[in-house]
Structure 1
Amino acid sequence: MPSAMSPHWPAHLSSKLTVPATNLFYNAEVSAARFPDKPFLSFYGKAVTFAQFKDQAVHMAGFLQRRCGIAAGERVIIFMQNCPQWAIAFYAALRANAVVVPVNPMNTTEELRHYIEDSGARAIFVAQELFPRLQPLLNEGVLAPEQCIVVTYSDYLSDEPETVPPEFVLAPRHRVDSRVPAWSDALAARLSPGALLAGPNDLCVIPYTSGTTGKPKGCMHTHYSVMCTAVGGAQWFASSQDVVQLAVLPLFHVTGMQGGMNAPLYNGATVVMLARWDRDAAASAIERHRIAGWHAMSTMVVDFLSNPRLGDYDISSLRWMRGGGAAMPEALANKLKEKLGVGYIEGYGMSETIAATHFNPAHRPKPQCLGIPVFDVDARIVDPATLVEIPRGETGEIVICAPQVMQGYWRNPEATREVFVEIDGRWFLRTGDLGRVDEEGYYFMTDRLKRMINVSGYKVWPAEVEAQLYHHPLIQEACVIATRDSRRGETVKALVVLDARRSEEVRAEDIIDWARTCMASYKVPRIVEFVGSLPKSASGKVLWRQLQDAETSRESTHADDSVSRA
């Protein structure tokens, strides 16, 4: 039966959410009309007002259409660190009736190739320092040079930044390729786009999520589904146009995208943006701009609280921290509350739901808890084998039917069929996460049905890492598992069988260094263990679960020994 409303549903909220039936770009037009001279983005002290934001997005949309040849529904990649241009590029693509494909700036050339080829992207916004990763693909004709727009972060810096930005942000503009237009030139052309045609049911953004079979898959989201969690998140926490918040989570990630860009734009709130996490820059920004809160991962909170200079900053304006993706350790949440008087509110969502389907009520959160289903979300716990709903308190798979659920995986009907199931005449998304519901309607995660490693909130799929490892000439077999990490929560461990004839030619450090050249840094195995063989089933499949259980048991024994010695 449908999930019942928790008795602790926020009193100020209706259980239903009326979602604007518009293109997401309309939010930029409304905020620009309401608050034209108010800063929307502040980047190391340089402000972009709502009116400037809309104006630049419109003219960049004109460039996409008239110079890059972008037609309605075509895909545009954004490949850069957090910066004002990231947000402007996102809304420019929407104004051009196109679809955004956000890509992690840590990806290598070969990973980037997959995103371009799989999405069929016709244009890309790329940061100057990342251009060398794109260059080989341009030379191969994977994308035309004139469809690439190069971004220089320092174009949006003031002469005297509030804090010292990273070196890559300070780098001056230079011509990376004579065939490729620069962002500044594209804006200077002042081209106007055609009519805004895309509506609420048209595709808006395709964030990619890795899968158990290796290659990342694109999650198809409409303007309506994106609007659901942008507007819903703003209302859940009673945000307003007078809130100033910090944006440090990457915008390519759905939590950063929705909480750090789309929701505040809808509200008319101001966002202070950092290109990369820096604890002193964050503390300085909180003091200078009287920031009320920020979306943070547990690793950021650890680093922030451990700063010996934290007492030098006035951070008394800080009222909230929110996040998801990786559970916040209860001891760390308690430390945050004791030291700063700030509570940490956890939520739950995924790329397939364009951020949160569950949030803890701000007035009554529970530690290490996913929260309660938000507006119009029907979440259930079912038996993974039979898909029959099970009683409260028992563990099963979390399945979700909600307006923010994706349309399916881009050009992958087989994967789409595997992830959706019909229950009571409605289609539910199988999350692959095992959880339970308590007597008050709060959801807790207990395990994963899917094989996945959670590295500081980034999903790492072992099959994808294994597929890359097999390209190493001396690796005969590989199995990737999760192991505990005091900083990241989990990290990647590879059990490797080497070519016996040449096993003395390579060390574990060599494998790790090689992996850094062909995969994003968060996917790189931090531990490589050489083994003589891997356990296999009768059909020849590697028994990864057996290896994972052995690793978990070893960690548990080690922890117990540490407690005993203490």
Structure 2
Amino acid sequence: MPSPVPSPSPETRHLPHWPPGQSQHLTLPETHLFHAAEVSAARFPHKPFIVFYDQVLSFSQFKAQAEAIAGWLQHDGGVRPGDRVLLDMQNSPQWVLAYYGILRADAVVVPVNPMNKREELRHYMQDAGARVAFVAQDLLGEMQPLLGEGLDHLVVATYSDYLGPTSELPVPPLVSAPREPLPAAAGLVAWAHVLAAARTPQPMRAGPGDLAVMPYTSGTTGKPKGCMHTHRSVLSTAVGGVQWFGRTQDWVMLATLPFFHVTGMSGSMNGPLYAGGTLVLLPRWDREAAARCIERHRVTTWQAISTMVIDFVANPAIGQHDLSSLVCIRGGGAAMPQAVAEKLKALTGLDFVEGYGMSETMAATHINPTHRPKPQCLGIPVYDVDARLVDPETLAGVAPGEVGEIVVNAPQVMQGYWRNEAATREAFIDIEGRPFLRTGDLARVDEDGYFFMADRLKRMINASGFKVWPAEVEALMYHHPAIQEACVIAARDARRGETVKALVVLKPGLADAPDAAAVSAWCHERMAAYKVPRVVEFVPALPRSGSGKVMWRELQEQQDARDAAAAKEPPR
């Protein structure tokens, strides 16, 4: 751990805006994560836990199947306490069952983005030391070559195994595809065979301080690193989210965020299981299916990211759906454009409640108070979170109103990066004898103690000495009537060093589409001159990660490569 640094003052201006009637401290359960499944199954055995295209899995059925998976892992898969197990699927009943089956076996879940290809999967397998994996049938081609390279067993799931005979919702081909015979290869086993074996698991031995989940984070450089989370740190955000939003056993959650990402995992999956609520699952985003699910199943909460909401409110048929059951729409990942938030409120009467977190913190460390949310805001530090702003170079506290890097000490912070002591040391600083995680995110705090993102530490654009935060420029550009999406990056400029470039997706079907000069002129009227995109490039779409976020780093790297190549070209 590095030597102590000058200490900023703890942030307390948010306390007058704390959710009414709630304690600022959250006493966490001293239990195994699987205990939530046991409690909910005992309390509500016949109540629906998962609804998947109108097919229902009750709490008691869920517990029994997860225990059968755990028994197979221990007796047939050779999984021992603390072993890491890969989980590679779209959102589905099998994803949730495999997750809790792995935990019930006292093993560690390694959630995998289903968009990952063979080489990426090989890194996760080798780095985590995983010998067993769960994979969906449609992803088998990418995972199967790893059998014999390190994997001993590969459990293959077919989504349609959990479909009923009919559904009033449109079922995508990915989900309706029938089960296919497995190739004749050692180590391959069908999901149905695992359940049919009906193995009884051994007693649970793991405690709150043992590893439970290890999501991988890509960071800005190098290969992805595993974030080591214990049963306690995972419960911190699951239980915290339930309490912050006042959810009960009659909660119905529309789960459209991917479970492999910590936001969906904690808020849309672990929280409802803990509370005894119901999950309505969609494997992939579909705005029409989402609206029909809300209406059909009387969904009360929808957790989403801004790109989903943008698409949802743009649906020309959205007014035909009854959305009156909704009491909360929440999310994070990127600031919600004000224009889109206003459309959502006009449609539902609800404010979009934003939050902030990362893989290293198992989702949220900050959430807006539901009674007093602010737009484009990360929120306030939640239970037992000490969040401060420091100068990213000196690590000293910044003056009030100044931009600084968010650092946090909190119960949901990871133990460190798996088998990477150097990266762990770099990720933490010592303040007053306590470890604070460096988030790499720059923010400012307003007079009420609310945190507002300035931008990623590495993303800041330096245009002639002026600092430009791309997220701020993007938020303003969303007000343009012809712009559907925008991503702002830095481009090399001989005079300014760097200049602002915007990649823009126009709304479809425009009768009079603006050109680049018109977009720049529009921006010039609405923001300081140094922030205005000097270069505007129209693109058909922006690249996205598996969790739906715009991959600005990829766009920036492509631009850097073009600029570097241009600099080497001889003068014409």
Same fold by TM-score, threshold 0.5 exceeded? yes
Q: What letter is aligned with 1:153?
A: Y
SS state at 1:181 partner: strand
- Residue deviations 1:161-192, cap 9 Å, x none? 23121101000001232331100110011001
| Cross-structure match for 1:49 | 58
- Quick one: structure 1 residues 79 and 158, their matched pair in 2 at CA, closer, same or farther if it must change by over 3 Å? same
Match of 1:58 among 62, 67, 74: 67
Check if 1:296 corresponds to 2:304: yes
Secondary structure at the counterpart of residue 286 of structure 1: helix
The equivalent of 1:102 in structure 2 is 111
Query: Does structure 2 retain, via aligned residues, the 8 Å contact 1:57–1:89?
Result: yes
Q: Deviations over 1:10-31 (max 9, x none)?
A: 1121000000000000000000
Is residue 2:413 matched to residue 1:384?
no
Classify the secondary structure of the residue corresponding to 1:410.
coil
Match of 2:441 among 433, 450, 458: 433
Q: Is 2:333 the counterpart of 1:325?
A: yes
Task: Write out per-residue CA displacement over residues 480-537 of structure 1, whole angstroms, 9 at most, x where no aligned residue.
Answer: x99545599xxxxxxxxxxxxxxxxxxxxxxx9xx99xxx99769579667474599x
Alignment match of 2:376 (pick from 365, 368, 373): 368
For residues 360 and 157 of structure 2, the distance between their equivalents in structure 1, rounded to whole angstroms, comes to: 29
- Partner secondary structure for residue 163 of structure 1: coil
- State the alpha-carbon separation in 1 of the partners of residues 95 and 195 from structure 2: 14
Structure 2 match to 1:286: 294
Provide the C-alpha distance between the structure 2 equivalents of 1:283 and 1:532, rounded to a whole number of angstroms: 44
| Aligned AA (2:340) | L
Aligned to 2:165: 159
* Count of matched residue positions in the alignment of Structure 1 and Structure 2: 485
- Aligned to 1:132, what secondary structure does the other structure show? helix
Question: What's the offset of the Cα at 1:195?
Answer: 1.2
Cα distance in structure 2, aligned partners of 1:193 and 1:11: 43
Question: In 1, are the aligned partners of 2:131 and 2:150 still within 8 Å (CA)?
Answer: no
1:239 and 2:260 are equivalent in the alignment: no
Structure 2 residue matching 1:294: 3-state secondary structure: strand
Once the two structures are TM-superposed, the CA of residue 202 in structure 1 deviates from its matched residue by 0.1
> What CA distance in whole angstroms lies between the structure 2 residues aligned with 1:98 and 1:54?
17
Aligned runs of 1:407-422 on 2, under 5 Å? 407-422=415-430
Alignment deviations for residues 528-548 of structure 1 (CA, whole Å, 9 cap, x no partner):
667474599xxx9xxxxxxxx
The code of the aligned residue for 1:351 comes to: S
Paired with 1:281 and 1:81, the residues of 2 have a C-alpha distance of 16
Q: Is 1:175 aligned to 2:181, yes or no?
A: yes
Matched, 1:21 2:27: no
Q: Does 1:185 align with 2:193?
A: yes
Alignment match, 1:348: 356
How many angstroms apart in 2 are the aligned matches of 1:323 and 1:53? 27
**Aligned 8 A contact 1:6 1:442 in 2:** no
Offset of 1:280 from its aligned partner? 1.1
Match of 1:359 in 2: 367
Matched residues in 2 for 1:484 and 1:51: separation? Answer: 50
Structure 1 match to 2:6: none
Instruction: State the AA in 1 paired with 2:377.
Output: C
Per the TM alignment, residue 407 of structure 1 is displaced from its structure 2 partner at its CA by 0.2
Whole-Å separation in 1 of the counterparts to 2:307 and 2:105: 37
2-structure distance, mates of 1:526, 1:370: 24
Alpha-carbon contact 1:65-1:193 (below 8 Å) kept: yes
1:474-493 counterparts in 2 under 5 A? 484-486=503-505
- DSSP 3-state at the match of 2:16: coil
Whether contact under 8 Å (1:61, 1:93) holds in the other structure is: yes
Opposite residue 165 of structure 2, the aligned amino acid is D
Q: Give the whole-Å Cα distance in 1 for the aligned partners of 2:439 and 2:549.
A: 25
Q: Which runs of 5+ in 1 are unaligned?
A: 463-480, 489-511, 541-566
Matches of 1:268 and 1:374, distance apart in 2: 22
The runs of 4+ residues in structure 1 deviating greater than 3 Å are: 450-456, 481-488, 520-536
Aligned CA distance change for structure 1 residues 65 and 414 (closer, same or farther; 3 Å): same
Report the secondary structure of 1:380's partner residue: strand
Unaligned 5+ residue runs, structure 2? 1-8, 461-469, 476-486, 490-499, 508-539
- Residues 208-246 of structure 1: CA distance to partner in whole angstroms, max 9, x if unpaired? 100222200110000000000000011000001001110
Task: Say whether 1:38 aligns with 2:44.
Answer: no
Q: What do residues 392-436 of structure 1 show as CA deviations (whole Å, max 9, x unaligned)?
A: 211111100001000000010000000100011111000111111
- RMSD across aligned C-alpha pairs, in angstroms? 2.7
- 1:249 corresponds to: 257
Is the contact between residue 353 and residue 404 of structure 1 (CA under 8 Å) also seen in structure 2?
A: yes
Q: What SS is found at the alignment partner of 1:16?
A: coil
Q: Matched residues in 2 for 1:521 and 1:221: separation? A: 23
Under a length normalisation based on structure 1, what TM-score does the superposition of the two structures give? 0.81
**Offset of 1:79 from its aligned partner?**
0.2
CA distance in 2, matches of 1:248, 1:11: 29
Secondary structure of the equivalent of 2:333? Answer: coil
Alignment of 1:67-146 (within 5 A): 67-138=76-147, 141-144=149-152
The residue aligned with 2:517 is: none
When normalised by structure 2's length, the TM-score is: 0.81
Residues 535 and 14 (structure 1 numbering): CA distance in 2 closer, same or farther, change over 3 Å?
farther
Is the CA contact 1:250–1:257 (under 8 Å) kept in the aligned structure 2?
A: yes
Q: Offset at 1:297?
A: 1.0
Alignment partner of 2:189: what SS? coil
Secondary structure at 1:7 match in 2: helix
How far apart are the structure 2 equivalents of 1:124 and 1:91?
14
Q: Which segment is superposed worse, 314-323 or 260-269?
A: 314-323
* 2-structure distance, mates of 1:229, 1:374: 9
